[in-house]
């Protein structure tokens, strides 16, 4: 949402309630980052989401993999900050939460300015925003990250699968458009 506002509206979205930041996880010690953010005196850590995936090795053994994916912070001034940790896997860049996984094509970063602050942003803004929002040029006032993103992939864990099956069952009876999403 922060990048959408920057690219489409030239600043923050008027109706957005948080600031989204992405950090590539491979070149850093992610656990140290989480600990550093939690210890910062100006922030309260609201939540640390581990992305959980069930994988299977060559011998058929199942494994539970957990990686830090999202740190939700609240600044002392009340600002909500979501720090998404991006990973690369099978030629895709992804970020997520305990139940979500959003996948993107790999992207390069360029320096730009947001409200007077230098920030990094995806170089191919149109591709990145299209992957995340579809028709990103048309403003949407009520956005649901569970149904409003074409790049959402159901995570390979029981909680995520159960949530999306429940949504499908409920909406199949009442709202075909939501069920299709």
Give the contacts of 16 (CB within 8 A, at least 6 positions apart).
1, 2, 5
92 token code pair: 């895709």
pLDDT value of position 96: 93
pLDDT for 99 beyond 90:
no
Three-state helix/strand/coil letters over 91-149: CEEEEECCCCEEEECCCCEEEEEECCEEEEEECCHHHHHHHHHCCCCCCCCCCCCCCCC
The HSE-up count of residue 93 (CA atoms within 13 Å, CB side) is 17
Where residue 117 falls among pLDDT bands split at 50, 70, 90? very high
What is the β-pairing status of strands 18-24 and 80-89?
Answer: parallel
Backbone angles phi, psi at 130, to 5 degrees: -65, -40
Q: What is the mean pLDDT of residues 138-159?
A: 84
28-82 pLDDT, tens digit each: 898 899 899 989 999 999 999 999 999 899 999 999 999 999 999 999 999 999 9
Predicted confidence at residue 170, as pLDDT, reads 85
β-bridge partners, 53: 65
What pLDDT is attached to residue 63? 93
Please tell me the pTM assigned to this model: 0.86
The bridge status of strand 109-114 relative to strand 117-122 is: antiparallel
Residue indicated by tokens 């390069």: 108
C-alpha closest to that of 104 among 112, 117, 95, 113: 95
CA 19 vs. chain centroid, Å, equals: 12
Q: Is the pLDDT of residue 85 over 90?
A: yes
pLDDT at residue 180 in the model:
76
């Amino acid at each position: 949402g922060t990048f959408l506002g920057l690219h489409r509206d030239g600043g923050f979205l008027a109706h957005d309630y948080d600031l989204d930041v992405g950090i590539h996880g491979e070149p850093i010690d992610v656990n140290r980052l989480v600990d550093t953010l939690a210890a910062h005196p100006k922030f309260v850590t609201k939540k640390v989401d581990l992305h959980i995936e069930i994988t299977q090795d060559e011998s058929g053994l199942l494994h539970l993999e957990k990686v830090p994916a999202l740190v939700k912070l609240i600044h002392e001034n009340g600002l909500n900050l979501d720090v998404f940790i991006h990973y690369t896997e099978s030629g895709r860049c992804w970020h997520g939460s305990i139940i979500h996984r959003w996948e993107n094509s790999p992207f390069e970063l360029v320096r730009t300015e947001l409200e007077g602050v230098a920030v990094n942003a995806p170089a191919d803004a149109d591709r990145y925003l299209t992957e995340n929002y579809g028709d990103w040029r048309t403003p949407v006032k009520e956005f649901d990250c569970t149904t409003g993103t074409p790049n959402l992939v159901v995570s390979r864990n029981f909680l995520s699968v159960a949530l999306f099956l429940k949504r499908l069952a409920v909406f199949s009876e009442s709202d075909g458009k939501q069920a299709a999403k």
